[in-house]
Amino acid sequence: MVRERIGFIGVGLMGHGMAGNIVDKGWPLTVMAHRNRAPVEDLKARGAAEAANPKGVAEQSDIVVLCVTGSAEVQSIIEGVDGLAAAGKPLLVIDCSTADPSVTMRLATELAPSGITLIDAPLGRTPADAQAGTLDVMVGGDPLVVARARSVLDAFAARVVHVGPTGTGHTMKLLNNFLSMGYAALYSEALALGSKAGLTPQLFDNVIRGGRMDCGFYQTFFKWVLDRDPNAHKFTLRNGLKDMTYLASFANSVGLANPVGAAVRNSFALAVGTGHGEDYVPMLSDVISELNGIK
């Protein structure tokens, strides 16, 4: 069977592992460097080719996977002077970023007449899961297009859920991240309150771990709280704020009052505003404690 050629843009914390699984499982792969050449050199050593810009990636690909920060980056990669669209050829673009659903739907509509099909396939889980090929993926797109994309997604995912038409993947991802960022804000505030009352994080964990309030997110969060493992959950507070801002925009667009979402966003805005934007999500617990005078 002749496999389609895959392009991959965004070989960062998540993308490196995803692209590695694609090339290791036999797909012809072309990648593009951004700031860090190390993952690109690693992928080239494993058989990938390199292109200088998105147009070059498109020229060597049938399907292009994007794993970048958000809607602004996706638009630049597709529509820029040397963007994917500049190649002037049919493409399937799989957007694995966490983005604004309204932008995703607009882009898909605008690109369709030029033969570019855009679907959204945002991710759940961590960079470790990307390396292991065990990510969760929530996909929005036409069923026939999703079926075409499925074999590529299966290269780096253990669970793929088709949630509806284009845009619904990014909508579901925002809801997923609302829950996870909400947990982070709750844990951080609860730990600070507990410390004020003389309850240590270890005691807190002794009660929660193994009970009904335990979950996978709790466990990675507490790898930082208890073990100070900086790699426990490599997702920055700045990206958390970005996602909660997208959620606020989405809530406004549908006329929904979301006071809890606003409170969670404010916790992340506080952390970013006090210089902690590049810290990872579990480190929010330190920020909230320090701002309340707790060492």
Active site residues: 173
Q: How far apart are CA 201 and CA 191, in angstroms?
A: 6
Q: Is residue 35 within 8 Å of 68, Cβ to Cβ?
A: no
- Three-class DSSP category at 197: coil
SS3 assignment, position 266 = helix
Q: Can you read off the two tokens belonging to residue 169?
A: 């993947």
DSSP state of 122: -
Q: Which helix (H) or strand (E) holds 158?
A: strand 157-164
Q: Do residues 232 and 223 make contact, with C-beta atoms less than 8 angstroms apart?
A: yes
Which structure tokens are listed for 288? Answer: 């909230």
CA distance 228 to 78: 39
Rounded alpha-carbon distances, angstroms, from residue 13 to 107, 120, 231 = 25, 19, 11
